[in-house]
Structure 1
């Protein structure tokens, strides 16, 4: 009886300590600590002060035992979510460079995660790493067996997805873009999967939005940074699923004089040929992955019809690990006629239903 009473008392004390714990995140220039291991989600490049990153949705994790931890932002993103044990405890908007302390935690085991929520095509960010103050010690993070690669444009970025209006200034787009709330991370969370997001707003397969200059997505994809610094030579990342949505920017605006296509038919032909070549390149790198190509019914179905042609072309060549998902019924109520928060839930549900109907893609399941 005495032993049972002691156990109950210990449990009550643990519950009380947890209830009193109020995690907080605050700048602390005086923070000192031991560097902690970093699990990286997404592409990073070496930097003298840490890890440079520019693709959207990059995230960092560490595990520790204790009641506090810290991190350093050398060149911060516009918006950064801070999560402890899977729960968001803070969102830093336009944070200043420097060190940040996460404290007020109940003593015990914790996972600290930072998620880049914003997009920045102009320059790379730099993460300085995690720090563990005295009294906290590093733990090993369990590896996730499932991996998904998401490739696309602004829809995959989550451009303006938390906005409730289509009319947005540039500042409002920045404030309402949240890649972590886009369909890709939602799908990954559903499956408990690691993920990478390689998407750039306004970029297409052969043509960018309104004919604007700049790399198309297939031209930018091979590099760790958008500046073409550091080709990605990492063969360790082997996703079981590759989810691609490209074509909105190729087709959503009229051709202009001086563009390299004589007419819309030539643009469509170039799109199908180049998209198929891009998928073949990815297939050579990830031979066991299942590829899901999806497209909306926008532009009178032009995007959907020609993305479908890509999938059919590859299937006709003998690639049996590829499927096509047409998507309709999106309200496009977010900034500049982009998918809304409700649309991203619809996309998640459509992709999950499609993936669940496939032969199980997960190794070891």
Structure 2
């Protein structure tokens, strides 16, 4: 069924030539050598491989600006859901688009900003993006990075896992189809503050223990790398966020310990969690000396997650950390897939975090 939906989407795009207004259509007849490369701004971690920009962490976005009625973009390999935005408005959402060249036209002759947002999570493998192009008459416009930067570090609550689902009962396939990081609380906050953002989060991962004891990298282990393959460490001197929002711990404590895990008791898990959490944030502080840390949790697992994270934050502060705050967010419906935050919950989380941010007058001035 998912392949039929993707095919139908492409057919619909190709058959809308009579429609007025912006549209997205495959453009296999165009040759890249006949087009000019447009400048591109990338939001999120990415690496250049050949003629593609490759990414895997969620929430990646690609932007360009130009003057003219149309522009092109090239989709690379890998399953993904893409929102194509022209001047801030979604023109089309593409589900598992085929690799190749696409044209956005019907824009009018003025100045335009084109944004491609990756909505889906890509744990199974990276995806590629081949850049933006324009016809010979298209005038390129520089795309300046935003002055404000926010980084979001976390698990499925930060990814936006199943947040567009109308039901809690979801298959693995439905989770993928209904996850929309661009509508999660992080990008909502970033748009509110006109900030560039990175979403460095992986569903199911914890600080020391992943969901139900799964034998996969914890978030701190995966965090230092551009992709999930441990091959290329992150080195980006231009990324100096004024605000780092962290939400971790749900996967460490939401399930019972199993035989064979390295922690023999809950207190032993708690001790390891607090120690590793503090070390992880201390490492972030070394890289981002001026950032403010806003650390939050929900009230799930009978309050155990919030209690453990609060204790870790207090430990940081007692060791001298002065630019960090903790907030527990209650009252969420968790009506998304598998009892995850819904779109309404994401808006609530964004509002609660904004209340803390707005009360601090030193976040953006540092």
TM-score (norm 2): 0.92
Deviation at 1:77, TM superposition (A): 4.1
Structure of higher CA gyration radius: 1
CA distances 1:192-231 after superposition (whole Å, capped 9, x unpaired): 0000000000000000000001110000000000011211
Q: Does 1:89 align with 2:84?
A: no
- Report the Cα distance in structure 2 between the residues aligned to 1:40 and 1:48, rounded to whole angstroms: 16
- Report the Cα distance in structure 1 between the residues aligned to 2:82 and 2:176, rounded to whole angstroms: 12
- Report the Cα distance in structure 2 between the residues aligned to 1:60 and 1:77, rounded to whole angstroms: 17
CA contact (8 A) 2:41 2:144 kept: no
Report the 3-state secondary structure (helix = DSSP H, G, I; strand = E; otherwise coil) of the residue aligned with 1:188. helix
Partner of 2:30: 31
Report the 3-state secondary structure (helix = DSSP H, G, I; strand = E; otherwise coil) of the residue aligned with 2:112. strand
CA contact (8 A) 1:77 1:116 kept: no
Partner of 2:280: 278
Structure 1 alignment gaps of length 5 or more: 1-19
CA contact (8 A) 2:263 2:269 kept: yes
- Report the Cα distance in structure 1 between the residues aligned to 2:341 and 2:284, rounded to whole angstroms: 26
Choose which of 195, 200, 204 in structure 2 pairs with 1:193: 195
Structure 2 alignment gaps of length 5 or more: 1-18
- Report the Cα distance in structure 1 between the residues aligned to 2:219 and 2:213, rounded to whole angstroms: 14
CA contact (8 A) 1:49 1:74 kept: no
- Count residues with an aligned counterpart: 345
CA distances 1:152-182 after superposition (whole Å, capped 9, x unpaired): 0000000000001100112211111000000
Choose which of 359, 362, 365 in structure 1 pairs with 2:361: 359
Write out the 4+ residue segments of structure 1 that deviate beyond 2 Å after TM superposition: none
Q: Does 1:171 align with 2:173?
A: yes
Choose which of 66, 70, 73 in structure 2 pairs with 1:71: 73
- Report the Cα distance in structure 1 between the residues aligned to 2:362 and 2:96, rounded to whole angstroms: 41
Structure 2 counterparts to residues 206-225 of structure 1, below 5 A: 206-225=208-227
CA contact (8 A) 1:235 1:285 kept: no
Structure 2 counterparts to residues 286-365 of structure 1, below 5 A: 286-363=288-365
- Alignment RMSD (CA, Å): 1.1
CA contact (8 A) 2:80 2:127 kept: no
- Report the Cα distance in structure 1 between the residues aligned to 2:251 and 2:322, rounded to whole angstroms: 28
Question: Which segment drifts farther, 108-117 or 355-364?
Answer: 355-364
- Report the Cα distance in structure 1 between the residues aligned to 2:29 and 2:167, rounded to whole angstroms: 42
Deviation at 1:76, TM superposition (A): 4.3
Choose which of 264, 268, 271 in structure 1 pairs with 2:266: 264
TM-score (norm 1): 0.93
Structure 2 counterparts to residues 127-276 of structure 1, below 5 A: 127-276=129-278
Report the 3-state secondary structure (helix = DSSP H, G, I; strand = E; otherwise coil) of the residue aligned with 1:75. coil
Structure 2 counterparts to residues 38-49 of structure 1, below 5 A: 38-49=40-51
Partner of 1:22: 21
